[in-house]
Structure 1
């Protein structure tokens, strides 16, 4: 009976680990399906390759985190950070946040993404350190938005400055949610270590 319970638990865990890969495959199919029904969606091979590579990278990052720990808060923190990074990259490639996608000011967001990558390596992806790193990422995101607004970058866009303000708030909130989840993961780890 105990073996049966362990088997169903492992099977459930395996199903949850497959979920990101299944979602990624479905997301990759969406543009293809949309192209069958509308002329507004016109992707070429390069678009599918870039989107597929991004999905592969996002799923691989989450899979690595899932293998590193069984801590649900840590996995959720990684999931939120990966989704935020994915959306930030995709928006910049597709339409740009500061003006159009061709505006070189959008390259400042590469600096935002460098913070969690380099910071994560420095703190060895430990939850307490990652909480601080993701808070710093939110600060970097806000800093880029403030620079864009103060310098008038992208001001020729129809929705300037609302787009920059809204997206800066949106991404900063995602980074802060991830930081909060990492902080919870650190607390769970500390309390588990303190238990006899």
Structure 2
């Protein structure tokens, strides 16, 4: 009798799948619950739809990573990249990294994500290409942060620098993990 050989990622996927989808539902319910207890949180149907779409994209990206991952390092890199991308979009839409969300400098941070999407498509999610893509994203994050500090009028430079540093560190950590996954293959 042939026993199927499980991927080294399979045990992690069994644990992380319900956590990702359940966590997304909990995050979506959180503002609704908060609105029951405070007037400080006021979300419209459009806010819930947009946040739900963001969570859906993140969960679907996780599912794609699980299908492609052949090493736990790849899965961890994907989780880190997806989480950082989610944080970048959320911060940009909620309060804006620079001044208000409508400030044109905030589009530079969207360019970081565009590089990620294009790099992922070109590399077909292969670990080596993803390592290069995440490295490019980190470099663009630094450039965007530096330009934002130079141009920003109301946003404290310390916030922009800290946010840029956190995202850059996450992109570079994911790049290192993708590289490790590429070497393991």
Q: TM-score, normalised by structure 2?
A: 0.90
Distance 1:179 1:12 in 2: 20
- Residues 53-89 of structure 1 show CA distances to partners (whole Å, capped at 9, x for unaligned) of 0000000000011012242111111111110111100
* Alignment partner, residue 145 of structure 1: 145
Distance 1:121 1:183 in 2: 17
Compare CA radii of gyration and give the structure with the larger one: 1
Alignment of 1:39 with 2:35, yes or no, is no
SS in 1 for 2:164: helix
- Please point out which of 177, 182, 185 is paired with 1:181: 177
* Alignment partner, residue 156 of structure 1: 154
SS in 2 for 1:98: coil
- Residues 144-177 of structure 1 show CA distances to partners (whole Å, capped at 9, x for unaligned) of 0111223x32x223xx111111111011011011
Alignment of 1:86 with 2:86, yes or no, is yes
* Alignment partner, residue 132 of structure 2: 132
Distance 1:68 1:178 in 2: 15
Q: Paired residues, what number?
A: 180
* Alignment partner, residue 192 of structure 1: none
Distance 1:60 1:54 in 2: 10
Give the deviation of 1:16 after TM superposition. 3.0
SS in 2 for 1:97: coil
- Residues 117-152 of structure 1 show CA distances to partners (whole Å, capped at 9, x for unaligned) of 1111112211112111101100000000111223x3
Distance 2:74 2:24 in 1: 21
Alignment of 1:29 with 2:29, yes or no, is yes
Superposed, which structure 2 residues align to 1:109-128 within 5 Å? 109-128=109-128
Give the deviation of 1:22 after TM superposition. 0.7
Distance 1:173 1:15 in 2: 26
- Runs (5+) with no aligned partner, structure 1: 190-196
User: Which runs of at least 4 in structure 1 moved beyond 6 Å after TM superposition?
Assistant: none
